[in-house]
Amino acid sequence: MTLLDPQMQAFVAQTLQHYPVHGAVTNVIQQRQCYRDMYRSFAASKPTRVLIKDEQVKGPDGHLIPIRHYQPQGISSPKMLSYPVQVVYLHGGGFVVGDLDSHDDLCAEMADICGFNLVSVAYRLAPEHQYPCDISDCLALVDHLIHRGKAIILVGDSAGATLAACVANARSSYTGTQLLGQVLIYPALANDASTSSMHEHAHAPLLTKEEMTFYHDIRVGGSKATAPIQDPLYCPMHAQSFEGLPPSHLFPAQIDPLFDDCELYAQALKIAGVAVKNHTQVGYGLVHGYLRARHMSDKAGANFQHICATVSALGRGLS
């Protein structure tokens, strides 16, 4: 905790008070309840000028996928390459927790600040639904929007950022027309337990190396041995080539076992000639999950504003 300022320490303390001291990652039902209690304790008032509407999209397997639209009122959204801009937000939660409500206030604020329509998706979660159900649901939404003529900016945090990068792998052919960019917030990109940050921050306050192992395993039936090998829809850095990916912005947290993932990914994209920026400095002093601290931490609030400015720039063809 010595690297955290008092505001971030208060955020960590408020988060942890909703979880038991031991066993928080071993019982999924309990973890989901703890997570709901936690995100409700941080819930902020939503901007009144954002119209919110729930809908469903049918996936290729017939599954009805819940989605939520956020439409800013009184704001004229610009167009990029003749396509109306649509932000797609994929929530975090280790592929195990999270839904349309867990990031509701965040999505409403982002839509309001950026001035773009935004849609979030409740993709299917493990362990009830195994990979590739999660990425299949995300792709179904993105394909639905592409077919409706939208220009898309992919935004995700944590596991949602993993899924966003995998969507970018799968739909890179739309880069420059309907895929404008990706904004990845404290993402898991490399699936590598041997990085320096995995060692240095193995026991970070809000995400540990042990928890990452749990999340990776439960997504594929409880054992990493069953994980697909070199599958770009499972792990972003399993792609054979990164050429053709859209402009990419990475927002790591400094005190996070996943910190090094962003630099590994950024270097791979640079080699492939992709425009990429790793925004490490705005993440200094922050922990995994800092978006929820945006109203109680100056550093987290400034980071969130930087993220929104980046999304806005992508949608206006400025980044």
- What rounded mean pLDDT belongs to the chain? 94
Among residues 139, 230, 243, which one has the least CA distance to residue 191? Answer: 230
pLDDT above 50 for 159: yes
Q: Catalytic residue positions?
A: 158, 256, 288
Contacts 24+ apart (CB under 8 A), 21-27: 25/210, 25/211, 25/214, 26/214
Task: For the chain, give every domain's residue range.
Answer: 6-315
Half-sphere exposure of 97 (CA within 13 A, CB side): 22
Instruction: Assess whether pLDDT exceeds 50 at residue 23.
Output: no
- Of the listed ranges 78-82, 225-229, 278-282, the one predicted with least confidence: 78-82
Q: pLDDT tens digits, residue range 81-99?
A: 457 999 999 999 999 999 9
Query: Domain 6-315 carries which CATH code?
Result: 3.40.50.1820
- Between CA 168 and CA 31 the distance in angstroms is 30
DSSP classification of residue 112: H
* CB-based contact 151:83 (threshold 8 Å): yes
pLDDT by residue (tens digit) across 190-240?
A: 989 899 999 999 999 999 999 999 999 999 987 777 889 899 999 999 999
Q: Which candidate, 144, 147, 155, 139, places its Cα nearest to that of 313?
A: 155
Per-residue confidence (pLDDT) for residue 76, from 0 to 100: 55
* Verdict on whether the full-model pTM lies above 0.85: yes
- In one letter, which amino acid is 68? R
Residue 80 has pLDDT above 50, yes or no: no
Predicted pLDDT of residue 224? 76
pLDDT at 25 over 60: no
| CB-neighbour burial class of residue 258 (10 A; exposed 0-12, middle 13-18, buried 19+) | buried
Fill in the amino acid letter for 313.
A
Q: How many CB atoms lie within 10 A of CB 129?
A: 16
Q: How far apart are CA 11 and CA 136, in angstroms?
A: 34
Span 258-283, mean pLDDT? 98
CA distance 214 to 316: 39
Confidence band, pLDDT 50/70/90 cuts, at residue 78: low
What pLDDT is attached to residue 3? Answer: 82
- In 3-state terms the chain splits into helix, strand, coil percentages (rounded to 5) of 40, 20, 40
Q: What is the pLDDT of residue 226?
A: 84
Per-residue pLDDT at 301 exceeds 60: yes
Query: Are the C-beta atoms of 8 and 71 separated by less than 8 Å?
Result: no
